[in-house]
Copies of this chain bind each other. A is one copy, B any other.
Amino acid sequence: MNKKELTLGIDIGGTNSAFGFVDRNGECIAEASIPTLSENPAEDLFKRIKDKVDEIYKDLIKKDYKLLGIGIGAPNANYYKGTVELPPNLKWEIVNIVEISEKIFSLPTVITNDANAAAIGEMKFGAAKGMKDFIVITLGTGLGSGVVVNGELVYGADGFAGEIGHTIYDYNGRECGCGRRGCLETYASAPGIKRTVFELLANSNNPSELRKVSFEQLTAKMISDAALKGDKIALQAFDFTGKVLGLKLADSVAHLSPEAIILFGGLALAGDFIFAPTKKYMEENMLNIFKNKVKLIPSKLTKGNTAVLGAAALIWNELEKMK
């Protein structure tokens, strides 16, 4: 009798790590989450995941499911080496996660960073189904990107390709966590739009409900809520964010000529507030041959845990390549 095939997607986060059994169609059959506890070695996390997985898998086996492999999304992950290297928010230094996972699970394992996993997730289950050339931009606490060319994720020579968040918009601009100035992610990200709001509050006399909020308290959600109510500062902040993003995406298009750019993550949920100006400035700044060709669309990985789906898509993709 034919087994129903599954992969395990694992999303390693600073606080919790989530995982789920995902079928070939991107349906998540079962999922769970445990604390990451990165003060302990990574082996400890994987042993605890294994215990939980075994518990769930017992039932799945009875229903004729079979687990084929493991995909992992993690910060600063290197696809080639299987490592996670000096990850922010995790206390590990350089750990070979793939080695650990393959030892503990005896199953083929692949790892990549969150944005790359999101890109493969979109390709297999989401907005990029059937596309061979596209870019996923994740707008969260930073700006991550996953680039797909000829149907393959671009890892580059050293496994770290796709750092569009660290292309530079203004060489004399805002301080970036990377040590340089003016990186795209200091403008187009949740903290980026906060910084823009504070600049606008400083430079204009427009009244705004955001004048009541401290920098630490302010969230991207508050900015979209204010924009919904017509708050001028909030609207201007979205326009400027879209402008910077649109200008830099025009450069990405010049490199790669993608069929689509997919916006993913918290800030993308602001819908037209972010899509409309991004599209406008991207079109205005693209070379003629690219104008009105490149779709700017939202993620379709909206059901369930998208990071787990992306990680599962990663290993599905590898398993298909191995055939």
Contacts and interface: CB of A to CB of B under 8 A. Distances in A.
Interface stretch (A49-57, A159-167, A205-213, A310-318): A159-167
B255 A256 contact: yes
A180 interface: yes
Interface stretch (A18-26, A33-41, A288-296): A288-296
A39 B155 CA distance: 45
Contact of A180 (B164, B168, B287): B287
A20 to B, nearest CB: 29
B251 A167 contact: yes
A252 B255 contact: yes
How many protomers of this protein does the assembly include? Answer: 2
B255 A147 contact: yes
A258 B149 CA distance: 14
A96 to B, nearest CB: 18
Given A168-B247, A251-B167, A289 B160 contact: yes
Contacts of A254: 163-164, 166-167
Contact of A163 (B134, B178, B287): B287
Interface string A168-185: 100100000011100000
Interface residues of A, number: 43
A290 B254 CA distance: 21
A156 to B, nearest CB: 2
A286 to B, nearest CB: 9
Contacts of A287: 163, 166, 178, 180
Contacts of A154: 149-150, 255-257
A81 to B, nearest CB: 13
Contact of A133 (B157, B164, B167, B252): B157
B257 A255 contact: no
B166 A257 contact: no
A130 B257 CA distance: 25
A161 B164 CA distance: 17
Contacts of A131: 157
Given A134-B157, A147-B256, 15 more contacts: A132-B157, A149-B156, A150-B150, A154-B255, A156-B256, A156-B257, A157-B257, A158-B289, A158-B290, A160-B289, A162-B257, A163-B290, A167-B250, A168-B247, A180-B287
5 contacts: A149-B154, A155-B257, A156-B256, A157-B294, A252-B255
